[in-house]
Amino acid sequence: MGAHNFKTKLTVRLLALATIASSTLTLTPLAYSQDSEILARVNGNEITAADLAIAEEMYEQQLGQMPEDAKRSVLVDALIELRIISDAARAAGTTDQDAYKRQIAFFEAQTLRSVFLEQRVASAVTDAAVRAAYDEQAGKIPVVRERRLRHILLQKENEAKDVIEALKTGQPFAELAKERSADDVSKANGGDLGFVAEGQTLPEVDAAAAALKPGEFTQEPVASAFGFHVVMLEEERNRPAPPFETIAPQIRQALEGAEEQRIISEIRSGAEVEKLIPDVSPPQTEDGHDH
């Protein structure tokens, strides 16, 4: 039981430390008027809003979803208990024990590691570095031709011919799509299929669209297994790279990960390390796909 408790608490604290490292800059979900606001007293010692803010970060993952006032209350209870028990432990001389010192040393090492790495990584991975990586990657994305198409599907060839005749008299494509298309999805959008990359739709429609100029529609029905299609090309372009804002967080994360690894191996190369047990790789986990 004691061992189990120790393990659980250790996990909780490990999680908490990991959270501290990653969220120092993104404080704080709970808004408190004043850090010095006193929320409880234990044997004459005060528990303040600043203590609560730390507790919230520490225990965030275990708290899950709950109303703010309940969260506040649960956390203050936890702080009260923490203070009562830690005071008792101090009084009992626990801080002189080796077991205590070993754990503290471990947590200190872990905290030092995360604070140190976070600062070093943050100074290396600047906004400019993220932008430069984006520009480089955006330049490497292969060119994909895409076409904004409108589409009407008809069951019979002569129906498709009728639609083409109507288009030739100047009737708007969207209107005809709405009235005549058997495709009730694109019908709702006036036949608009949005931008379709080359090679990503029915081959017959793709080939017909490739022969059109913007504003043109197919002069003959396009036959497929599904019926007869009338296709209009609205616009043609090379697919734009995803906007900076949408992929900057992933790029930053990747750069930070790489930088962290670089720092670690740099420091490691100057350290004298003797691992006295054999290297054993954990078993591979598979996700079933052949990547």
Q: In this structure, are residues 113 and 18 in contact, taking their beta carbons and an 8 Å threshold?
A: no
**Closer residue to other proteins in complex, CB, 268/289:** 289
**Closer residue to other proteins in complex, CB, 191/259:** 191
Reduced to 3 states (helix: H, G, I; strand: E, B; else coil), residue 116 is helix
Tell me the C-alpha distance between 260 and 161, whole Å.
64
Name the minimum Å distance from CB 290 to other proteins: 4
Name the minimum Å distance from CB 156 to other proteins: 12
Distances (CA, A) of 29 to 17, 72, 118: 18, 11, 21
**Closer residue to other proteins in complex, CB, 83/147:** 147
**Closer residue to other proteins in complex, CB, 111/200:** 200
Name the minimum Å distance from CB 223 to other proteins: 11
**Closer residue to other proteins in complex, CB, 103/189:** 189
**Closer residue to other proteins in complex, CB, 46/157:** 157
**Closer residue to other proteins in complex, CB, 48/189:** 189
Q: 255: which 2 tokens?
A: 């750069």
227: left (phi over 0), alpha (psi -120 to 50) or beta: left
Footprint of other proteins (CB under 8 A): 151, 153, 155, 182-187, 193, 197, 199-203, 205, 224-227, 285-286, 288-291
Sorted by sequence, the CB contacts under 8 Å of residue 261 that are 6+ apart come out as: none
User: What would the DSSP string read from start to end of 217-248?
Assistant: B-SS-EEETTEEEEEEEEEEEEPPPPPHHHHH
Name the minimum Å distance from CB 232 to other proteins: 15
Name the minimum Å distance from CB 199 to other proteins: 6
Element (H, E) at 152: strand 145-154
Name the minimum Å distance from CB 98 to other proteins: 35
Name the minimum Å distance from CB 73 to other proteins: 35
**Closer residue to other proteins in complex, CB, 28/250:** 250
Distances (CA, A) of 146 to 196, 199, 234, 270: 5, 9, 11, 52
Tell me the C-alpha distance between 278 and 274, whole Å.
11
Tell me the C-alpha distance between 143 and 237, whole Å.
10
Name the minimum Å distance from CB 206 to other proteins: 8
Tell me the C-alpha distance between 204 and 288, whole Å.
34
